[in-house]
Structure 1
Amino acid sequence: MNVRLHIERLILDDLPLRGSQRALVQGAVEQELARLIEVNGVGPDTMAGGARASVPHTVMNMSEGASPVQLGRQIAQAVYQGIGTSHSAKKQ
């Protein structure tokens, strides 16, 4: 099965990143979302090709010393909560 996911804009308030860190966060978001979708699938609305203007926002508590990769994984998990299956939290 192929799943194509397009995120036009991801808003991350109050996340101070330098240019090189942005690429690391982006790569980690992409890899973690791909992993979550492969392991857990997506919800029926997403599977049917449904577009969404937004997904519910999530407040995340990030560790002060978190690496860009760790941040990217947390962000991906928050995004996945908005598009994943109802049991997505069980297999993360």
Structure 2
Amino acid sequence: MRIEVHIERLVLDGLPVSTADGPRVRAEVESELARLLVAGGLNRDLGGARAVARMSAPQISVGPREQPDAIGRAVAASVHAGIGASE
């Protein structure tokens, strides 16, 4: 199975991410979310190739010195909780 994730705009209010770290966080979100979707699938209500304009996801907690890659993985896990297949 091949899944491509492209994030056009990612708004991270209140997270310790600099403008310079933004691309690194976005890349990590894309790759980790793709990995999670391959492993766990997509919610049936969202099936097919389509854009999702907005979604709700659980809040994440990160420390003030959290690395951009770790922040990206936490964001991806939260997004996956909102769009991933239900158990």
TM range (shorter): 0.7 to 0.9
Structure 1: 5+ residue stretches without partners: 88-92
Partner of 2:10: 10
* TM-score (norm. length: structure 1): 0.76
Does residue 73 of the first structure (1) align with residue 70 of the second (2)? no
Partner of 1:90: none
* TM-score (norm. length: structure 2): 0.79
Over aligned residue pairs, what C-alpha RMSD do you find?
2.0
Alpha carbons of structure 1 residues 34 and 85: separation in structure 2 relative to 1, 3 Å:
same
Structure 2: 5+ residue stretches without partners: none
Task: Give per-residue Cα distances to partners, 1:7-48, cap 9 Å, x unaligned.
Answer: 443332112422321011011101100110111111111224
Counterpart-to-counterpart distance in 2, 1:64 and 1:34: 26
Counterpart-to-counterpart distance in 1, 2:9 and 2:78: 15
Q: Secondary structure at the match of 2:11?
A: coil
